């Protein structure tokens, strides 16, 4: 499991490679909060290379979404495969997040 962060225009793009679970979610959280502190406002998390997400991973996404909103920023998610989509639907988190099918769509949507 690893995260790669890069910037595309004024958007911070995070790729989650592997699982997003209790063992590594703090790392994702810290990385995004660091960028938020630096003044970044637009965040895109791309799940095209993600395996599975557990409830604590979902919890971190919820927490980040709140923190980003509080700073007047925006968070988008992209590239959830069918299994991950099901996970968001089961928990109704698909109603909380702005989810784009592709990275391009997500980038355009800011």
Partner 1 sequence: MTDIRSRGEDAAPLGELRIALEVSIPSDVRYIERVVEIVRSQCMAVLFAPRHCALNVPVALSEALSNAILYGNGEDPEKHVRVRAQVDDEQLVLEVADEGTGFDLEEETNDPTQLENIEREDGRGLFLMQQLMDRVERFDDHGNVIRLTLKRGS
Cα–Cα distance, 37 to 100 (Å, whole number): 25
Return the structure tokens found at 102: 């592709």
CB of 108 to partner 1, least distance (A): 21
Task: Looking at residues 66 to 105 of the shown chain, list those that interact with partner 1 (rule: CB under 8 A).
Answer: 66, 82-84, 86-87, 90-93, 95-96
- Please select the residue that binds partner 1; options are 32, 44, 60, 77, rule is CB under 8 A: 60
Q: Which range in 23-31, 42-50, 72-80, 102-110 contacts partner 1 by CB under 8 A?
A: 23-31
Q: What whole-number distance in Å separates Cα of residue 96 and Cα of residue 75?
A: 11
**Which residues pair with residue 14 across a beta bridge?**
5, 45
Return the closest-CA partner of residue 106 out of 40, 4, 11: 11
Interacting residues with partner 1 (CB under 8 A): 1-7, 12, 18-19, 21-24, 27, 31, 35, 51-56, 58-60, 62-63, 66, 82-84, 86-87, 90-93, 95-96
């Amino acid at each position: 499991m690893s995260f790669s962060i890069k910037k595309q225009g004024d958007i911070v793009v995070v790729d989650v490679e592997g699982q997003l679970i209790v063992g590594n979610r703090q790392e994702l959280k810290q990385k995004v909060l660091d960028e938020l502190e630096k003044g970044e406002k637009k965040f895109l998390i791309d799940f095209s290379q993600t395996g599975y997400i557990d409830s604590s991973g979902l919890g971190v996404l919820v927490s980040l979404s709140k923190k980003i909103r509080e700073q007047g920023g925006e968070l988008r998610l992209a590239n959830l495969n069918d299994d991950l989509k099901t996970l968001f639907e089961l928990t109704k988190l698909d109603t909380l997040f702005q989810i784009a099918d592709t990275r391009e769509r997500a980038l355009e949507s800011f």
